[in-house]
A and B are shown apart, each in its own frame.
Chain A
Amino acid sequence: GARSSPKDEL
């Protein structure tokens, strides 16, 4: 599936 953005932010 589509790659989702890295959730590295608060």
Chain B
Amino acid sequence: MNIFRFLGDMTHLISILILLLKIYATKSCSGISLKTQELYALVFLTRYLDLFTDFISVYNTVMKLVFIASSLAIVWCMRNHPLVRRSYDKQLDTFRHYFLLLASFLLALLLHEKFAFQEVLWAFSIYLEAVAILPQLVLLQRSGNVDNLTGQYVFFLGAYRALYIFNWIYRYFIDPHFTRWIACVSGLVQTALYADFFYYYFISWKNNAKLQLPA
């Protein structure tokens, strides 16, 4: 464990806590893409298959359980909670996320570290996570003004993988045999997808104005 990875995990946890706060406090999920949340739930379920077979540390196990439980709870809430589901922008959340699923799975069949069930699903979860934010970014552009909690949620979500990139650079320096190309390249793509959001987030922070994404 290194400071970059720890900060990355904490940033990821904060993003999830912000989303839970928004849904719990406002009983609303306006501006949140259910499709992105479903993709994240799938990312965690397919990445943490080793939850019960490979014990790494208490921290690792606890964080995996928190990520799986929170993502499933958010999807469940957005689908079934009477107040929350009414605030879901169904007509704006129209990204064809099934294509992201299919593309990630096909790519995982082609590009993986080892042709084994868990390895292919691990690669699938890495590719899927890289593109899972797309429905959310499209929804933000369509819904024009972005409420503060939603803006913070997306910001921390983008920042966590950027910190992981520093973690991979650090691990490579202390151990030149460390290679994790699939996660690294995907992480770069994932972070790059937030580039324009980060730009408008910075502008809104500098001008102390509301976060506006151009349509």
Query: Within the complex, what minimum Cβ distance (angstroms) separates B53 from chain A?
Result: 11
Is the Cβ of B122 less than 8 Å from the Cβ of A10? Answer: no
B56 in the interface (beta carbon within 8 A)? yes
Chain B residues with CB under 8 Å of chain A are 5, 9, 12, 50, 54, 56, 60, 63-64, 67, 113-116, 119, 122, 164, 167, 178-180, 183
Is the Cβ of A5 less than 8 Å from the Cβ of B113? Answer: yes
Is the Cβ of B113 less than 8 Å from the Cβ of A4? Answer: yes
CA distance A10 to B60 in the complex (A): 7
CA distance A3 to B60 in the complex (A): 22
Is the Cβ of A10 less than 8 Å from the Cβ of B9? Answer: yes
Q: How many A-B residue pairs have CB under 8 A?
A: 30
Instruction: Tell me whether chain A's interface is mostly helix, strand or loop, or mixed.
Output: loop
If A4-B119, A5-B113 touch, whether A10 touches B64 (CB-CB below 8 Å) is: yes
Give the bracket for the number of chain A residues in contact with chain B: under 10
Which of A1, A8, A9 contacts B114, CB < 8 Å? A1
If A1-B114, A2-B113, A2-B114 touch, whether A7 touches B64 (CB-CB below 8 Å) is: no
If A10-B60, A10-B63 touch, whether A5 touches B5 (CB-CB below 8 Å) is: no
Chain A residues lying within 8 Å of B54, measured Cβ to Cβ, are: 7
CA distance A1 to B100 in the complex (A): 29
